Amino acid sequence: MADRALSLMGVSKRYGDFSAVSDLSFEVKRGAICGFLGPNGAGKTTSVRMMLGLSEPSAGRIEVLGRPAGQALDRIGFMPEERGLYRKMTPLDVIVFLAGLKGVKAAVARRRGKGMLEAQGLGPFMNKQIRSLSKGMSQKVQLISCLVHEPELVILDEPFSGLDPVNQQGLETVIRDLARQGTTVLFSTHVMQHAERLCEQVVLLAKGRKVFEGTLQAARAAAPRHLDLEGALNEADLLTLPGIVAAVDMGEAGDGAHVWQCHLKKGHTAHEALKAAFLRGLDVRRFEAREPSLHEAFIVLTGAGHE
């Protein structure tokens, strides 16, 4: 469909008796930022290789930008998890060379490359050898190399791996800017915080199978909400409050008080529990209702907490 940048339909990948990916189906709309999430070994990289046409699925079908996988590579930008640049070349020469493989003329690639290197603070290093650059700088060069041909779809495999917090923030800004320009971004990661800040859509994998596809809000709804209570409280009293199904003592808060993390049953609100606590005269000195994080939803949806 014209409004879909990526479609996977019943895709599986088997290696002998081992299924790396099983019956995977999902779609990414054009211009969206989609987080392709799962623990290490979930099948993310195997799936990405099939999207790029580097590996044939054992079953199912993949369409990328309206064409079969592998037939639209000049319109895709890809940054693999395993970084690799020609260490004796300069950043600018690497960018021009790789852009040429995508059909971009050298003069155009050189002009774009200079501008992008300057924008990333690498202007003074554009003519130095790659081997003299830091890891973070090299990763920026690799990112520029996958964007210089102005792709319609960008696939980033664990792009935040090895970056310090400042460079992680910079990469998040680049991803947002790409989406604002209409570029579709799919990035795989096992670090939920990046997806939580960036994504409109998430797809969660566990053991090669999709366990969730949808919005961040829908994903978070799968995890229990929390109510943090501080005071001279005990577990038995807390478990009698409406909606509270578990209470975990998080430690002392001073003056005989403890902080309790209370898990709320789906469909119940923190307001119900708080109202009952005050009516019963329980010693509540501080309270905070918390929405579940994507990380908490991820653990629930993938069953990671039971492994």
Residue 210: exposed, middle, or buried by beta-carbon count in 10 A (0-12, 13-18, 19+)?
buried
What tokens were used for 225? 């909400």
For the chain, percent of residues with pLDDT exceeding 90: 64
Helix H or strand E segment including 87: none
- Domains recognised in the chain with CATH numbers: 4-220 (3.40.50.300), 226-291 (3.30.70)
Q: What is the pLDDT of residue 161?
A: 81
Query: Is the per-residue pLDDT at 258 higher than 90?
Result: yes
Query: Is the per-residue pLDDT at 307 higher than 60?
Result: no
Of the ranges 10-14, 270-274, 301-305, which one carries the lowest mean pLDDT score? Answer: 301-305
The 10 Å Cβ neighbour count of residue 146 is 21
Q: What is the pLDDT of residues 138-157, one digit of tens each?
A: 888 999 999 999 999 999 98
How far apart are alpha carbons 53 and 168 in whole angstroms?
A: 28
What number is the average pLDDT over the span 68-95? 88
Q: What is the pLDDT of residues 182-200, one digit of tens each?
A: 999 999 887 788 888 999 8
Q: What is the pLDDT of residue 304?
A: 58
What number is the average pLDDT over the span 282-303? 86
- CB–CB of 140/120 below 8 Å? yes
Whole-prediction pTM: 0.82
Query: Is the per-residue pLDDT at 1 higher than 70?
Result: no
How far lies 223's CA from each of 34, 238, 257, 269, 303, in Å? 20, 20, 27, 13, 11
How far apart are alpha carbons 205 and 298 in whole angstroms?
A: 9
Query: Model confidence at 41, in pLDDT bands (50, 70, 90)?
Result: confident
Cα 175 → chain centroid: 11
Q: What is the pLDDT of residue 51?
A: 95
Query: Is the per-residue pLDDT at 305 higher than 70?
Result: no
For the chain, percent of residues with pLDDT exceeding 70: 98
How far apart are alpha carbons 142 and 298 in whole angstroms?
A: 29
- CB–CB of 152/183 below 8 Å? yes
What number is the average pLDDT over the span 110-135? 92
How far apart are alpha carbons 173 and 56 in whole angstroms?
A: 33
Residue 68: exposed, middle, or buried by beta-carbon count in 10 A (0-12, 13-18, 19+)?
exposed
Report for 56-70, 212-226, 252-266: range of highest mean pLDDT: 56-70
How far apart are alpha carbons 33 and 187 in whole angstroms?
A: 8
How far apart are alpha carbons 258 and 1 in whole angstroms?
A: 56
φ, ψ of residue 28 to 5 degrees: the values are -125, 125
- The pairing of beta strand 33-37 with beta strand 201-206: parallel
- 3 state DSSP class of 114: helix
Q: State the DSSP code for 225.
A: P
More confident residue, 296 or 202: 202
Q: What is the pLDDT of residue 217?
A: 86
How far apart are alpha carbons 84 and 73 in whole angstroms?
A: 19
The residue type found at 214 is: G
- 3 state DSSP class of 222: coil
Q: Which residue has the tokens 């791996």?
A: 161
Cα 249 → chain centroid: 31
Q: What is the pLDDT of residues 197-216, one digit of tens each?
A: 999 899 999 999 999 999 98
Of the ranges 10-24, 54-68, 97-111, 187-201, which one carries the lowest mean pLDDT score? Answer: 187-201
